[in-house]
Amino acid sequence: MSVSYQLPDGASMEFEQPASAFEIAGRISKKLAKQALAAKANDNLIDVYLPIDDGATVEIITRETDEALELIRHDAAHVMAEAVQELFPDTQVTIGPTITNGFYYDFHRDTPFTPDDLKTIEKRMQDIVRRNEEIRREVWDRDEAVAFFLEKGEEFKAEIIRELPADQEVSLYRQGEFIDLCRGPHLPSTSKLGDGFKLMKVAGAYWRGDANNAQLQRIYGTAWRDKKELNAHLKQIEEAEKRDHRKLAREMGLFHIQQEAVGSMFWHPKGWRMRQNLENYIRGKMEKGGYQEVSTPQMMDRILWEQSGHWDKYGEDMFTVCTHDHKEMAVKPMNCPGHVQIFKQGITSYRDLPIRLGEFTTLFRNEAHGALHGLMRARSFSQDDAHIFCTEEQINEETAGFIKMLREVYEDFGFDSFRIKFSDRPDNRAGSDETWDKAEGALRSAVESLGLECELNPGEGAFYGPKLEFVLRDAIGRDWQCGTLQVDFVLPDRLDAEYVAEDGSRQRPVMLHRAVLGSLERFLGILIESTAGHLPLWLAPRPVAICTITNSADEYATAVQQKLVAAGVPAELDIRNEKIGFKVREHSRAKTPRIWVIGEQEAQQNQVAIRTLGSQATETMDLDEAVAALAAATRLPI
RNA sequence: GCUCUUGUAGCUCAGUAGGUAGAGCACACCCUUGGUAAGGGUGAGGUCACCGGUUCAAAUCCGGUCAAGAGCUCCA
């Protein structure tokens, strides 16, 4: 009897009895056997020393592969846990998965880990790598595994295993004295981890992601194939941090935040101009798209929020104000109830639908302290918020119109790819299951008919309806929801909105909540980070700085500025007694898109020397031509 | 809100072992009129986040408050 294996190149290999990946690799070459870290048998990853089933297609995993990088990160988590338990025996282990660029492990321990502890742990990890401990898979009976971990005082681990089916065997991996529940596979020994890892930070995390549970200490690490890759990654983080919008906004003079108004911006002249440019741009887009702009009260009686259901779910996060007659007014965190009030004035016919109401006024939400993050997560902000009141039949078409606008807008900002999440019913929700079936069905069919690629985001919908989230990424890889589309059958009912149908009956409209940019503040933050401050000309607060070389050119430069301002371009004039190199440096650092340099030569010939942000080159142009070109480029692309 | 870390001049930071503070940039004034990322000089500027405690003495040690950063939870 013999067994045979298929190799990726189509060849096959015979053995007398089931062979391991290590043995198979050894037949191919000594070198490959040395390099083998794991194997893929019929696309399932398996430890390098385990026998492989007859007939499998076997691929050897070497260090260069993506799979190996996963293994390295997973091993790093185990080695870290081993180091932690050696150094701090009172620590319980919980879970330790791989993540983008690295890994973490959640520990339970009464005393917190300090940054110094991290250094010590890292050193011990290096020791464990040097010890070259074999990492071996063991298969245990579930109940025995539970008893084993309980006896070791590992309650969290025991809890995880206890929840597996009783008859299921569990795999444990042992390296030295350390043993952990793990699906595997792993590298064959700790030395294979190498030296491309580093512990990054310690942070709190809740057991099973629930804030009611014990808080664990999560240690984050990054791991790579070698030191060189690690250093490249660290360098990249450093570069990304330079794009932080809070840092750039200070350099660009856009806004500031201070203690007396936590979570809200003091917009400076330049920042506000930029913010207004964005608002005017999207306002123009919406007008073109058949939206009507409205404005609804900043404060409304709490009763209205109770009716809508917001109070029940978000009351704690709403700011309230008491009037002299003891009414409790809520500062609006959302526009929807206000828009319903406008819809309800008079009698609406089906012929009037869809009605699209948009609003840009400021919203206030009492976001948790720890959630605040510059422009990305603020307590006061405004949205390109709108509500479309329509019939069920109109949902598809309105969704298509919205998606079309969103694509155009994102393209104007250079976001040609973005992720879409489909968030369905949350546990805590308003409306019957039938209503939710209908709303989710409607949104799903709209998505399908448009061929949109979505990832499912279970249980993350709004309390009144399912939603699409359009997600953009910041400089250091964090995801932020920007655009959104939500299908809502609940609020029209709760707030008693209706229209007269063709047959004369009264019907509930469907409400589509939608925003293309989402929070204007957040969108600007993302945009600043994604462009490193190099904004499009039409959005930049000062598209151009006019810089003189000598003050004999002051008069001409002033005339140039006036000409630009008359043409609608907010130009900055810099006739300070400074050298041109100094001025160029300063305006470049402030991310001014264009610098017009003017010396005697330009003044005499009625020209300007143009320097574009990010380039060292200059281009000399006749003044009138340059003004016309810049005026055109700074016009909002509506 | 929770965990950890941090809070010194407008900004970036130094401040050794407790003995009431320092640099660079920015700012003001003077000199310099210089062709594309920092020309030179002089000067002003700080209740060391705030409150309390220990001490003869606190930016420094301890406690609390506020805020910021990272992560978790949350995100209508």
Interatomic separation, CA of residue A111 and C1' of nucleotide B56, rounded (Å): 37
Question: What are the angstrom distances between the C-alpha of A403 and each of A267, A289, A444, A452, A458?
Answer: 31, 12, 14, 9, 22
User: What is the model's pLDDT at position A2?
Assistant: 84
Active site residue A383: yes
- In this structure, are residues A157 and A146 in contact, taking their beta carbons and an 8 Å threshold? no
Q: Does A365 qualify as catalytic in the annotation?
A: yes
**C-alpha span between A181 and A5 (Å, rounded):** 30
Strand B lies under 7 A from the Cβ of residue A368: yes
Q: Is residue A78 flagged as an active site residue?
A: no
Verify if strand B has an atom below 7 Å from the CB of A137: no
Whether the beta carbon of A404 falls within 7 A of nucleic chain B: the reply is no
A385 is catalytic: yes
User: Model pTM?
Assistant: 0.94
What was the pLDDT predicted at A75? 96
What was the pLDDT predicted at A353? Answer: 95
Asked if strand B comes closer than 7 Å to A425 Cβ, the answer is no
Helical residues (DSSP H) of A291-382, grouped into ranges: 302-308, 310-314, 336-344
Task: Identify the residue whose Cα has the smallest distance to the C1' of B39.
Answer: A579
- Please give the Cα distance from A621 to A135 (Å, whole number): 70
Cβ atoms of A142 and A167 closer than 8 Å: yes
Nearest to A520 by CA among A289, A287, A339, A361: A361
Q: How far apart are CA A523 and CA A614, in angstroms?
A: 23
Active-site annotation holds for A562 = no
- Model pLDDT, residue A416: 85
Scanning every strand, the nucleotide with its C1' closest to A578's CA turns out to be B34
Asked if strand B contacts A203 at the CB level, meaning under 7 A, the answer is yes
Check if residue A597 sits with its Cβ under 7 angstroms from strand B: yes
Residues 535-594 of A with CB under 7 A from strand B: 548-552, 577-582, 584-585, 588-589
Which residues 207 to 236 of A reach strand B, CB within 7 A? 209-211, 215, 217-218, 220
Per-residue DSSP letter, A428: S
Quick: pLDDT tens for A111-129: 889 888 999 999 999 999 9
- Nucleotide nearest A220, CA–C1', reads B71
What does the angle CA A156 – CA A160 – CA A165 come to, to the nearest 5 degrees?
Answer: 155
CA of A93 to C1' of B56 (A): 51
Q: Let me know the angle formed at the C-alpha of A396 by A334 and A308, rounded to the nearest 5 degrees.
A: 25
Q: Is the CB of A123 under 7 A from strand B?
A: no
A246 touches strand B (CB under 7 A): yes
The answer to whether A369 is a known catalytic residue is no
Catalytic residue of the set A383, A394, A486, A607: A383
Looking at strand B, which nucleotides approach a protein CB closer than 7 A? 1-5, 11, 31-39, 66-76
Give yes or no for CB of A331 within 7 Å of strand B: no
**What are the tokens at A539?**
């959005």
User: What does the pLDDT read at residue A326?
Assistant: 86
Question: According to the model, what pLDDT value does residue A10 have?
Answer: 85
Total residue length of chain A:
638
Tell me the one-letter amino acid at A224.
W
Kindly determine whether the C-beta of residue A443 is less than 7 Å away from any atom of nucleic acid strand B: no
- How crowded is residue A420: how many other Cβ atoms within 10 Å of its Cβ? 18
User: pLDDT below 70 — which residues of chain A?
Assistant: 1
Q: Is the CA virtual torsion A368, A374, A377, A383 positive or negative?
A: positive
Q: Which nucleotide's C1' sits nearest to the alpha carbon of A464?
A: B76
